[in-house]
C-alpha cells in the first residue's frame, strides 16, 4: 500500500516536472490612440464632431503540454460613454487529446470566405459601438468540442449559455438613432428567464481547389427584427443553415456564402457571390493588387438590417509586401435597387517595428430614404487616424 | 555530301552531349533530394534580418514546422512571432510536386483562416530578399536541369523553373559532392537573364548522421544591394508530427 502511494507520488512529481518543462508564458499589450472627426454637422441634438479616444488590448497565453489558457481583453475610453467599454474578447481554457479538442470560455469565432458581408458568421455579437460596420465582435461565452482530421475535415460543436445584446451609442455619438436607445430596448422573443441556450455546428474541409463549410445555428438570433412603424425590435428565436464555398483557381478566387434563416415572424434567404483577382508583384518589387467584386442579395429587401439587400461591393486592395507591411483598401458599396452609395478607404503601415498607423475614411455619397436604418447616418461621414504601439 | 554528313554527325554528338548534361544535371539534383529523404518531421526557429542599402536592419522571428511527404510535396506551418503587429499570423502549406500548392493564412486579429492563392511565386516574403518560391520546399519536379561544370568538390547545375510564374529564368546551384550533395550556393537569374541574387549557406551541422543543415542563409540582391540573413536555431528532428498536426484547426492553434 505504502509502496503504491510512493509510486503515485513519484508519478505525480514526474508529471509536474513534465508540465514545468513544457510550461510557456507569453504576454503582449497594444495601446492605441484614436481620433475620429465627423466633418458634417450632426443630424441629432447632442451629437458631437470630434472624438479623441484610446484603447488597450492586453493579451497573454499560458501553454503547458496540450493545455492552453488564452486571454485577450479590450478596453476603450471615448467621449461617448457607451463607447467607453470593456470586453473579454477571448478568455478560455483549451485542452487536446490527439485529434479531439475541447475548450471553454469567451471566444471569437469566424466563419466565412467573402470580404464585404459575412453572412454565415453568427457566433459572436457585433461590437457596434467599436465599429458600426466593422469587424469587431464581442467575446461569446461558449463551450466547444472539435474533431479535426486531414482527411475528413473539421467538425465543431458549440454550446452557448448566454446571449449578448448589441450595445447602442450614447447621446454624444454618431451612428445613432434620433433617440438614445439602451440595451434593454431590444427584448427577447422568448421570456428572459427561460432563455433557451444556443447551439451551433460546423463542418469545414477542402478538396483540391474547393474549400467548403456547412453550418447550422439554433437559438437566439444575433440580429434583431425591427418593426419600421412602431420602431420596436426583438431578438427572434432562429434556426439558420449556412453554406460557404471558395474555389481557388491560382490568382482567381470564386466565393459564395448563403444562409437560410427561419423564425416565427420572418424567414428569409440571403447570399453573397464574389470574385477576387490578384495581380502579383506588379512593380517587380512585391506590390500585389487585388480586385474584389461582391454581390449581396437578401430576401428581406428593405427590412435587411445591414441594408445589404441588393448591393454590389467593388474594392481594390494594394499590398506592398514591404518592410513596413503597407496596405490600402479602397471600396465602393452601391445599392442596385435604391440610390445609395458609400465610399471607404483604409490604409495601414508599420514604422519603427513597434508602431502602426491606421487611416480610415468613410463617405456616404448618397443614402436613399427608403433604406431601413441608413438614413439616420446620412451626416456621419468620418475620417479616423489611429496610432498604435505594441509592447 | 561528305561535309553534310560531318555536320550532321557533329550536330548529333552535340545533341547527345547536351542530352547527357541534362540527364547528369537531373541525376545530381535527384541525388541531393534522395540523400535528404527520411527526415520525417522537423521543427526550427528562425531569425530573419533584413538589411537595406544604408545598412539599417530589421528583425523578424519565426517558427517553422515541416512534415516530410514522399508521394507528394511536404506539409509546412510557418508562424510569425515578430513584428508584434502581425504576431500569431501563420501559414499552412501542402506543397505539390506538380501544380500549384494549397495554402491557408491565419489572421489572429479576426481569428480567420483564409485560403490564399499560392501562385505568387516571385513576390518578396515579408519584405525580405527571399521570394515565396525561394522558401518553398525543394521538389525535384519543379525544375528541369542541366549539368554545367565541376569545380573541386562542387558540381554546378543549372535549374530552369517549370512554372511560368517563377521570377527566375534560371538558378545556378552548387552541390557539394563530398557532403551528401548538400547545396552550398545558389545564383538566381531574373527573367531578363541578369544576375539578380546570390544565396550562400553557412555553418553546416550534420543531424541524425545523415542530414546536413545550414544554420545561416545569406541572400544578397545584386541589383538593389539589399541583404537578408536567416539564422536557424532549435533544430528538432524528433518532433514526430502526423498529418493531423497540419490541419486548419492546427493552423489556428499555432497562431493563438
* Least confident range of A92-96, A110-114, A292-296, B95-99: B95-99
Would the CB atoms of B110 and A135 count as touching at under 8 Å? yes
3-state secondary structure of B65: strand
Per residue in A190-232, pLDDT tens?
765 556 789 999 999 999 999 999 999 999 999 988 776 777 8
pLDDT of residue A373: 81
pLDDT of residue B133: 86
State the cell numbers at A69.
489558457
Please give the CATH architecture assigned to the domain spanning A25-390.
Answer: Beta Barrel (2.40)
* Least confident range of A326-330, A380-384, B13-17, B146-150: B13-17
Three-point CA angle A101, A219, A162, nearest 5°: 65
Cα nearest neighbour of B57 on chain A: A323
For all residues of chain A together, what is the average pLDDT?
90
Q: Show residues of chain A in contact with B119, CB under 8 Å.
A: 250-251, 280
Residue A135 touches partner B, C-beta closer than 8 Å: yes
Would the CB atoms of B85 and A110 count as touching at under 8 Å? no
State the first-to-last Cα distance of chain B, in angstroms, to the nearest integer. Answer: 77
Would the CB atoms of A281 and B123 count as touching at under 8 Å? yes
pLDDT confidence bin for A103, thresholds 50/70/90: very high
3-state secondary structure of B42: strand
The alpha carbon of residue B20 is apart from the nearest alpha carbon of chain A, in Å, by 35
State the cell numbers at B78.
510557418
Mean local confidence (pLDDT), B40-65: 90
**Nearest Cβ partner of B247 from A149, A253, A280?**
A149
pLDDT of residue B142: 87
Whether A390 shows a pLDDT value over 90: the answer reads yes
| Strand ranges, E, within chain B | 41-51, 57-67, 75-80, 90-94, 102-107, 112-116, 143-151, 154-161, 168-176, 182-190, 195-207, 211-221, 227-236
pLDDT of residue B99: 82
Residue A283 touches partner B, C-beta closer than 8 Å: no
Residue B3 touches partner A, C-beta closer than 8 Å: no
Would the CB atoms of A206 and B250 count as touching at under 8 Å? no
Q: Which of A148, A204, A253 to mutate to test the interface with B (most CBs of B within 10 A)?
A: A148
- Report phi then psi at B29, rounded to 5: -60, -40
Residue B247 touches partner A, C-beta closer than 8 Å: yes
Whether A146 shows a pLDDT value over 70: the answer reads yes
Whether A272 shows a pLDDT value over 90: the answer reads yes
Beta bridge partners of A161: none
Decide: B153 and B176 in contact? Cβ < 8 Å: yes
Whether B110 shows a pLDDT value over 80: the answer reads yes
Q: Which residue has the higher pLDDT, B109 or A371?
A: B109
Q: CA A333, CA A321: separation in Å to the nearest integer?
A: 26
CATH code matching the domain that covers B5-255, chosen among 2.50.20.10, 3.40.50.1370, 3.90.550.10, 3.40.50.720 = 2.50.20.10
Domain boundaries, chain B: 5-255
Amino acid at each position: 500500500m505504502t509502496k503504491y502511494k510512493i509510486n503515485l507520488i513519484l508519478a505525480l512529481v514526474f508529471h509536474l516536472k513534465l508540465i514545468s518543462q513544457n510550461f510557456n508564458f507569453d504576454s503582449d499589450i497594444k495601446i492605441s490612440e484614436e481620433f475620429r472627426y465627423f466633418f458634417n454637422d450632426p443630424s441629432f441634438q447632442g451629437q458631437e464632431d470630434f472624438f479623441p479616444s484610446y484603447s488597450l488590448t492586453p493579451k497573454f497565453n499560458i501553454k503547458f503540454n496540450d493545455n492552453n489558457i488564452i486571454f485577450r481583453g479590450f478596453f476603450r475610453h471615448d467621449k461617448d460613454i457607451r463607447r467607453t467599454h470593456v470586453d473579454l474578447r477571448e478568455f478560455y481554457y483549451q485542452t487536446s487529446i490527439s485529434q479531439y479538442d475541447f475548450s471553454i470560455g469567451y471566444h471569437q469565432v469566424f466563419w466565412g470566405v467573402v470580404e464585404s458581408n459575412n453572412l454565415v458568421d453568427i457566433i459572436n455579437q457585433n461590437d457596434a459601438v467599436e465599429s458600426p460596420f466593422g469587424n469587431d465582435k464581442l467575446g461569446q461565452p461558449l463551450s466547444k468540442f472539435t474533431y479535426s482530421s486531414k482527411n475528413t475535415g473539421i467538425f465543431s460543436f458549440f454550446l452557448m449559455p448566454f446571449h449578448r445584446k448589441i450595445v447602442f451609442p450614447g447621446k454624444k455619438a454618431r451612428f445613432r438613432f434620433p433617440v438614445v436607445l439602451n440595451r434593454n430596448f431590444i427584448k427577447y422573443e422568448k421570456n428572459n428567464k427561460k432563455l433557451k441556450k444556443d447551439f451551433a455546428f460546423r463542418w469545414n474541409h477542402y478538396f483540391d481547389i474547393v474549400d467548403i463549410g456547412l453550418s447550422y445555428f439554433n437559438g437566439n438570433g444575433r440580429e434583431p427584427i425591427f418593426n419600421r412603424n412602431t420602431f420596436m425590435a426583438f431578438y427572434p428565436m432562429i434556426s439558420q443553415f449556412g453554406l460557404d464555398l471558395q474555389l481557388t483557381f491560382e490568382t482567381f478566387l470564386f466565393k459564395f456564402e448563403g444562409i437560410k434563416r427561419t423564425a416565427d415572424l420572418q424567414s428569409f434567404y440571403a447570399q453573397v457571390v464574389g470574385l477576387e483577382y490578384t495581380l502579383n508583384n506588379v512593380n517587380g518589387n512585391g506590390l500585389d493588387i487585388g480586385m474584389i467584386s461582391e454581390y449581396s442579395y437578401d430576401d428581406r429587401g428593405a427590412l435587411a438590417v445591414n441594408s445589404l439587400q441588393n448591393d454590389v461591393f467593388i474594392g481594390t486592395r494594394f499590398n506592398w509586401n514591404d518592410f513596413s507591411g503597407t496596405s490600402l483598401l479602397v471600396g465602393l458599396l452601391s445599392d442596385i435597387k435604391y440610390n445609395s452609395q458609400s465610399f471607404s478607404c483604409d490604409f495601414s503601415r508599420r514604422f519603427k517595428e513597434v508602431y502602426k498607423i491606421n487611416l480610415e475614411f468613410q463617405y456616404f455619397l448618397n443614402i436613399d430614404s427608403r433604406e431601413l436604418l441608413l438614413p439616420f447616418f446620412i451626416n456621419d461621414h468620418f475620417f479616423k487616424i489611429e496610432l498604435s504601439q505594441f509592447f | 555530301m561528305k561535309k553534310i554528313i560531318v555536320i550532321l554527325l557533329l550536330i548529333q554528338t552535340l545533341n547527345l552531349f547536351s542530352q547527357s548534361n541534362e540527364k547528369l544535371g537531373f541525376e545530381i539534383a535527384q541525388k541531393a533530394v534522395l540523400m535528404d529523404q527520411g527526415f520525417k518531421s522537423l521543427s526550427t526557429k528562425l531569425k530573419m534580418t533584413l538589411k537595406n542599402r544604408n545598412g539599417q536592419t530589421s528583425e523578424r522571428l519565426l517558427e517553422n514546422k515541416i512534415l516530410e511527404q514522399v508521394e507528394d510535396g511536404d506539409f509546412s506551418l510557418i508562424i510569425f512571432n515578430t513584428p508584434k503587429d502581425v504576431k500569431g499570423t501563420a501559414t499552412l502549406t501542402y506543397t505539390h510536386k506538380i501544380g500549384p500548392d494549397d495554402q491557408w493564412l491565419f489572421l489572429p486579429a479576426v481569428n480567420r483562416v483564409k485560403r490564399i492563392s499560392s501562385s505568387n511565386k516571385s513576390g518578396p516574403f515579408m519584405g525580405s530578399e527571399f521570394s515565396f518560391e525561394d522558401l518553398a520546399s525543394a521538389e525535384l519536379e519543379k525544375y528541369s536541369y542541366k549539368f554545367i561544370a565541376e569545380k573541386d568538390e562542387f558540381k554546378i547545375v543549372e535549374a530552369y523553373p517549370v512554372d511560368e510564374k517563377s521570377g527566375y529564368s534560371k538558378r545556378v546551384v552548387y552541390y557539394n559532392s563530398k557532403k551528401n550533395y548538400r547545396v552550398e550556393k545558389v545564383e538566381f537569374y531574373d527573367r531578363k537573364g541578369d544576375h539578380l541574387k546570390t544565396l550562400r549557406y553557412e555553418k553546416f551541422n550534420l543531424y541524425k548522421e545523415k542530414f546536413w543543415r545550414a544554420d545561416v542563409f545569406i541572400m544578397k540582391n545584386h541589383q538593389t544591394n539589399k541583404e537578408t540573413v536567416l539564422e536557424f536555431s532549435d533544430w528538432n528532428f524528433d518532433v514526430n508530427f502526423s498529418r493531423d498536426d497540419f490541419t486548419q484547426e492546427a493552423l489556428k492553434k499555432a497562431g493563438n
